[in-house]
Amino acid sequence: MKVSELGRRTGVQVPLIKYYLREGLLPPGRATAANQAEYGEDHVHRLRFIRTLIGTRGLSVSATKEILDAITAEQEDLHQVFGIALGVRPTRMEEDAGTEPPAKEQAPEPAGLADAHRLIAEMGWEVSRGNPAAHTLAEVLAALADLGADIDWRGLLPYARLADSIADLDVGQMSGERDLLAQAERAVLVAVLLEPALLALRRLAQEGKSARHFGGGRPGEATST
Amino acid sequence: MKVSELGRRTGVQVPLIKYYLREGLLPPGRATAANQAEYGEDHVHRLRFIRTLIGTRGLSVSATKEILDAITAEQEDLHQVFGIALGVRPTRMEEDAGTEPPAKEQAPEPAGLADAHRLIAEMGWEVSRGNPAAHTLAEVLAALADLGADIDWRGLLPYARLADSIADLDVGQMSGERDLLAQAERAVLVAVLLEPALLALRRLAQEGKSARHFGGGRPGEATST
């Protein structure tokens, strides 16, 4: 199909498609004339995937490109693809002589990092040093301490146990796909796209419970249908 | 204490404190001279709270002001405070004659909204029509369908059940505080500040499980301490 048809099929405007082609997010079509190319179903699929990561999930073009490159290059190594989608780049044996210093040396250690690692150890999670989620957790723990809230790393353990169950579901989502490329894409979907869904589910559950616990005689404009 | 001391205590620069004062995020100090004011421990606490919402959580100044105003105005109504922190404004009986139209009429219904409400109904969550989380959920469901992923609203039910357990923990966090203002603040902390912590915990658990399931002979640079 022509680029105009590709745009019609996916709802993405042609100038934006051309931008994704220039940036290498979308592989080039099969050239049919000096200034024309033919696109296939793979392009439709890839373009929808791009729009999900950028549009629905709010990733930057460069982060999206990094993930797409990882899917193509590392599709045989799901741990790598998953790691890149999580913002981690697990060390590979054959890349040990790489030039990048570990993330730990780049940024100053945030307050709360020791407590974050206590929680991680308690949960038995083996994570790479550069996992930015440990720093996020550290920041939240530091902020809670700063505010005098009596929630420390032990107070987050019940949340950690539920997060562990969620990750079990996530890994279970990956077992269905046979095709390596589809499996790699699925890893990204689960890692990246389910994040907003999960927060949304918690907020919906919270509102329901908040109404029951604190709403008293003011049920508001509620609907469950 | 003087504003300079307030800055020293909280690590917030004086021009930024003055900006928060002008914007009404921070209540004025007690005037001691034409151009001087005295600040107390309440200001230290409030300023740390502001920095948590804006700095750690990444909220805008206006969103932060709305939440702070809600804490002050609605501290007797935890359901309201919780709702505003969640981005919902539950309808109050005495405000029924308000001028704002329901959010439902403002935006076009996203694809997937019917499925989102099926899930909400299945979980028995009573949520207000304007809860933006229902729209987020709808967008994710639509994106999954668009990409041909075989995860529909039923596939998200196991996640919804875990989110329900998380919300139980959240509500349990609120029972400790006696003071109404502290309770309202706590509701905001739990609703807003635990979000990045929860995603971080899931990412840490995911990396641990990914290494075990997909890592094979490449354990990478792992640490659990």
Q: Are residues A192 and A121 in the same domain?
A: yes
Q: Are residues A36 and A69 in the same domain?
A: no
Per-residue confidence band for B131, with pLDDT thresholds at 50, 70 and 90: confident
CA dihedral A150, A213, B79, B83 (to 10 degrees): 80
Task: Name the closest residue on chain A to residue B192, using Cα atoms.
Answer: A203
Q: Are residues B120 and B49 in the same domain?
A: no
DSSP letters spanning chain B:
--HHHHHHHHT--HHHHHHHHHTTSS---EEEETTEEE--HHHHHHHHHHHIIIIIT---HHHHHHHHHHHHHSTT-HHHHHHHHTT--PPPGGGTT-SPPPHHHHSPPPTTHHHHHHHHHHHT--EETT-HHHHHHHHHHHHHHHTT-S--TTTTHHHHHHHHHHHHHHHHHTSS--SHHHHHHHHHIIIIIHHHHHHHHHHHHHHHHHHHHH-TT---SEE--
Q: Are residues B189 and B86 in the same domain?
A: yes
B200/A134 touch (CB, cutoff 8 Å), yes or no? yes
* Number of domains, chain B: 2
Task: Name the closest residue on chain B to residue A83, using Cα atoms.
Answer: B207
Residues on chain A touching B171 (C-beta within 8 angstroms)? 206, 209-210, 213
Q: Are residues A46 and A69 in the same domain?
A: no
Q: Are residues A27 and A108 in the same domain?
A: no
Consecutive H or E run containing A36? strand A36-38
Consecutive H or E run containing A31? strand A30-33
Residues on chain A touching B104 (C-beta within 8 angstroms)? none
A17 Cβ contact list (under 8 Å, min separation 6):
A3, A6, A7, A26, A47
Q: Are residues A116 and A21 in the same domain?
A: no
Closest to B204 (Cβ–Cβ): which among A133, A165, A174? A133
How distant is the Cα of A37 from the closest Cα of chain B, in angstroms? 24
Q: What is the pLDDT of residue A106?
A: 52
Q: What is the pLDDT of residue A177?
A: 63
Closest to A224 (Cβ–Cβ): which among B126, B171, B197? B126
Task: Name the closest residue on chain A to residue B141, using Cα atoms.
Answer: A197
Q: Are residues B32 and B123 in the same domain?
A: no
- Note whether A91 and B189 are within 8 A (CB): no
In a domain, B70, yes or no: no
B204/A88 touch (CB, cutoff 8 Å), yes or no? no
Residues on chain B touching A117 (C-beta within 8 angstroms)? 225
The domain in which residue B156 lies consists of: 75-91+106-209
In a domain, A35, yes or no: yes
Q: Average of pLDDT values for B202-213?
A: 86
Of residues A83 and B133, more confidence is placed in B133
Task: Name the closest residue on chain A to residue B206, using Cα atoms.
Answer: A167
Q: What is the pLDDT of residue A37?
A: 92
A207/B164 touch (CB, cutoff 8 Å), yes or no? no
In a domain, A217, yes or no: no
In a domain, A34, yes or no: yes
pTM given for the model: 0.80
Q: Are residues A48 and A69 in the same domain?
A: no
Q: Would the pLDDT of B213 be above 90?
A: no
Which residues in chain A show pLDDT less than 70? 87-108, 176-178, 216-225
Per the DSSP assignment, residues forming a β-bridge with A30 are A38
Q: Average of pLDDT values for B200-225?
A: 69
Q: What is the pLDDT of residue A105?
A: 47
Average pLDDT, chain B: 82
Distance separating alpha carbons of residues A89 and B49, to the nearest angstrom: 33
Q: How far is CA B85 from CA B59, B67, B81, in A?
A: 11, 6, 6
Which phi-psi region, left, alpha or beta, contains residue A177 (left: φ > 0; alpha: ψ -120 to 50)? Answer: beta
Q: Are residues B84 and B187 in the same domain?
A: yes
Task: Name the closest residue on chain B to residue A54, using Cα atoms.
Answer: B143
Q: Are residues B110 and B181 in the same domain?
A: yes
Please state which of the ranges A80-89, B13-22, B135-144 shows the lowest mean pLDDT.
Answer: A80-89
Per the DSSP assignment, residues forming a β-bridge with A222 are B128
Of residues B150 and A65, more confidence is placed in A65
B90/A196 touch (CB, cutoff 8 Å), yes or no? no
Closest to A210 (Cβ–Cβ): which among B48, B83, B93? B83
DSSP class of residue A65 equals: H
In a domain, B215, yes or no: no
CATH number reported for the structural domain that contains residue B8 in this entry: 1.10.1660.10
- Note whether B64 and B85 are within 8 A (CB): no
Q: Are residues B182 and B87 in the same domain?
A: yes
In a domain, B224, yes or no: no
How distant is the Cα of A103 from the closest Cα of chain B, in angstroms? 12
In a domain, A17, yes or no: yes
Q: Is ipTM beyond 0.90?
A: no
In a domain, A188, yes or no: yes
How distant is the Cα of B58 from the closest Cα of chain A, in angstroms? 12
